[in-house]
Chain A
Amino acid sequence: MKTPFKFISLLAFSLLIASCSEDDNGPTLDPVASNTASNIPAPQTGGQGEPTGGPFTKFSFATGAITTSDTEWDIAFRGTTIAVNGGTITGTNDEPERNGDAAAHIATGTFASILTAEGFTYAQDADTAFAIPTGSDNGWYNYNFMTNVVSPIPGRILVVRTHDGKYAKVEFLSYYRDAPTSPDGFVDESRFYTFNYVYNPNAGETSFE
């Protein structure tokens, strides 16, 4: 009995949206884009007890590519560590300056199930703590010391507010070059991110549909 009602309300709702956008003569919204970023390198020096260092690889959701800009970046990669362009330097070596308003939240679900960026609590990088927690099982990845494999944790979806107040969702697929389906921790080259992302290019718009 519930289905017809749901269906009708859905129909009414979509009609409403359709009619709104037709009637509105204001700026039309840019389409939400779904993309894959492949083999984003994330080199790092140090580690294994030594202080980590080396420049972060900066990424912009607006261009969908790596950038060397000091301001027009959203998230940045070094090894398994991810920085956001918002907040302050955490205190490790060679970090980029944070001059935007980026922030991050790790949501739980399938990629498709995260329909909006609304309702989450966002964190920014701060003194001694990254917005995306570092370490195995804390943030986006798990490290298996028996197999030496870093694998993204299933069900962890990164929701990002970009440096200029737009929203994106990210699902990490692989930490290895060319995203092998079952990486060998002793053979495959690591520190290459492959991820799916959906970016809403309209400032303040939180929808991922």
Chain B
Amino acid sequence: MNLNSFVITVFITLCSGLLQGQKSEQPKDSTKIQRLDEVIVTATRTQRQLSSLPLPVVLVSKKQVQQTGVIRLDEILNEQTGIITVADESGFNGVQIQGIASDYILLLIDGVPLLGRSAGNFDLSRLTVGNIQQIEVVKGPSSSLYGSEALGGVINIITEKPKEIQLNGNASYRFASFNTHDANLQLKQKKGDFGYTFFANTLNSEGYDLRPEIPGQTVSPFENYTLNGQIHYDISDRLKLFSSARYYRQEQDAQLFTDDVLFKGASAINEFNTHLRLDHTIAEKLQFQYELYYTNYTASELIESPITEDVFSQSDFDQNLLRPEIRAVYRLKPQHTITGGLGYNHENLDRTFFDDKVTFNSQYGYVQYDFYPIEKLNLILGARFDNHSEYQSQLSPKLAVNYRLGSSISLKASVGYGFKAPDFRQLYFDFTNATVGYTVLGYNVAVEKVQELDNQGQLTDILFSPDQLQDPLKPESSIGYNLGASFTKGKFKGDFNLFRNDFENLIDTRIIARKTNGQNVFSYTNFNKIYTTGLSVNANYQLAEGLQLSAGYQLLYAKDKDKKVALERGEIFARDPQSLQTISLNNADYFGLVNRSRHTANFKIFYELPKWNSNINLRVITEVHMGFLIAMEMPY
């Protein structure tokens, strides 16, 4: 962050504080809020106090979001220890937790999943922070509750609920460089049995260009809208209804410069979520939740020459998910809770480069026992079973322990299993690059498509016999271990956590045939074993009334196990960046997986000016990249 943007951030935060100060909604005395113990729902699917949880979690409150003055989810998460957003080799941005890529991190809004990924990456800047109550992040595998994709962690966005009888709301507007405008409007009311919220956000920008010497912009102009309406209705004392509808649309210009021709076009994303939930208290000790969720995500892009109207590329993407789920929470006795759930997923995708619309069906059930065998010891045992129409069934267990050592220290340990099902693209893709001529095939269609290409005389070589491609692709899986402690005393709050995640059966492409045009046919297979391991530390100190210091640090090692073996044998080469000559690498040269920072750190000062109802903050986030290029240069 350079000085300019730093100044702008401070200024905007100050302005927004003043703006909000004029609205009716006054924050309560903030020091009192601090003392209250925060509550989190994502870790156990029940309300749990943050301090007693045996899992590594990050909680970002609405207050922190407001103080920071950011507008999109990626910006606020970037400031949390051990969470960063980076672009991967495909060029798309995604979030990384404990060195685990965006593909393996589940995104939820009020407990239900969001669709729409580009080459596996979920773009967090799609989500506005304008209507969120808090952001909950559980690090480490959580498939025991959430199933597929929850290997590296779960990010759950909790939206604001109406609380007050009077109609209250707020409006805010921000202007930033590159002609960027962000506007929010929120209305809330809770009257008797009935409550509602309405939220609207729009963000538009002219984009920017980091490399003016090349035609086209780095980020093209875009505009997007988020609308969210919620209804809360208490049908009776025992039956409560929650329903939510959310709509997001983004339009963005697109351009592409190739072979001295400028192609122009536009892309559009539409996302729609509807969420219906009934909370049913059957007895004091037994509660049921009936949930129905439907979401649709579509993306389309058309790029053509503005002169000849030749279409350069056209792609369409239409994904649906329908999920009914029933959950039960039974309180055996105080602090002994059994949670169970049964659900069904129906998912389909229709897109360019697929022959047909593809459908997945899966059924699942999970159970969790959260209890205190002795006063100071909390145990959480859980497991989930997923039965899927396209891949092997998965059993995901988890065990977590918390031990309270005196009044200010608690020790935490957990181990869990996580998996990610092969996605639609890895199974059904049929794509041939128009300009270069290579082909990428999904695993399930590879045999048939290779046969087709061979019959057309397009292949010189087939590297695998059909029966070598018979065994179904296995889900990617990991086992994660976390061991840590937290310490709270007076004005000081700190924690540390050691982590290790061992991944198996990672899916990547390999060459399965060679084409007569000199290019290759790629398909997917399970092969890599990787691990990420490291340490994270957080410290927070209340220096004086209204003045808070916080610091965080993560050390990370992320490596490919097979590559380590090859290194030990001297089989890995890189190119000397100056002489361009081949050098042989040894283990000491191997920095690890691409795009991982060994050291990340953040340091924040928050200062509140109660008289002005405003605040000033200074935040420094750093990442240290080392050996980046050497890692990039590796063959394989």
- Which A residues are closer than 8 A to B by beta carbons? 48-49, 81, 108-111, 113, 128-129, 133-138, 142-143, 145-146, 151-157, 171, 173-174, 179, 181-182, 186-187, 194, 196
Contacts and interface: CB of A to CB of B under 8 A. Distances in A.
B437 interface: yes
A182 B635 CA distance: 17
* Size category, B interface: 35 or more
B514 interface: yes
Kindly name the residue among A155, A173, A174 whose own CB sees the greatest number of chain B CB atoms within 10 A.
A155
Interface in B601-636: 633-635
B435 A48 contact: yes
B90 A146 contact: yes
Given A134-B518, A137-B520, A196-B581, 8 more contacts: A110-B573, A110-B583, A110-B584, A111-B582, A129-B460, A146-B90, A181-B578, A187-B213
A136 B519 contact: yes
Given A128-B460, A146-B91, A174-B580, A135 B519 contact: yes
B512 to A, nearest CB: 13
B433 A136 contact: no
Contacts of A171: 581-582
Contacts of B529: none
Nearest to B436: A145
A187 B573 CA distance: 27
A171 B579 CA distance: 12
B293 interface: no
Contact of A179 (B435, B437, B580): B580
B246 interface: no
21 contacts: A81-B518, A110-B581, A110-B582, A111-B582, A133-B514, A135-B515, A135-B518, A135-B519, A136-B519, A137-B520, A137-B635, A143-B436, A154-B635, A155-B584, A171-B581, A171-B582, A173-B579, A173-B581, A179-B580, A182-B577, A186-B214
Given A49-B435, A143-B436, A187-B214, A135 B514 contact: yes
A183 to B, nearest CB: 10
B331 interface: no
A146 B632 CA distance: 13
Interface string B316-332: 00000000000000000
B468 to A, nearest CB: 20
B1 interface: no
A54 to B, nearest CB: 16
Interface string B562-606: 000000000111110111111110000000000000000000000
| Majority DSSP secondary structure for residues of B touching A | loop
Contacts of A145: 433, 436, 438
Contacts of A138: 514, 518, 520
Contacts of A136: 438, 519-520
A181 B91 CA distance: 22
B91 A135 contact: no
A59 to B, nearest CB: 19
Task: State the 6 A-B residue pairs at the shortest beta-carbon distance, nearest first.
Answer: A155-B573, A134-B518, A154-B573, A135-B518, A173-B580, A154-B575
Given A146-B89, A154-B635, A111 B581 contact: yes
B74 to A, nearest CB: 21
B511 interface: yes
A171 B580 CA distance: 10
A142 B435 contact: no
B519 A181 contact: no
A154 B435 contact: no
B582 to A, nearest CB: 5
Given A110-B573, A146-B91, A49 B437 contact: yes
Nearest to B636: A137
Interface string B434-447: 11111000000000
Contacts of B514: 133, 135, 138
Nearest to B520: A135
Contact of B436 (A48, A134, A152): A48
Contacts of A179: 580
A76 B581 CA distance: 22
Nearest to B634: A154
Contact of A142 (B433, B515, B635): B635
A44 B572 CA distance: 33
Contacts of A196: 581
A164 B140 CA distance: 63
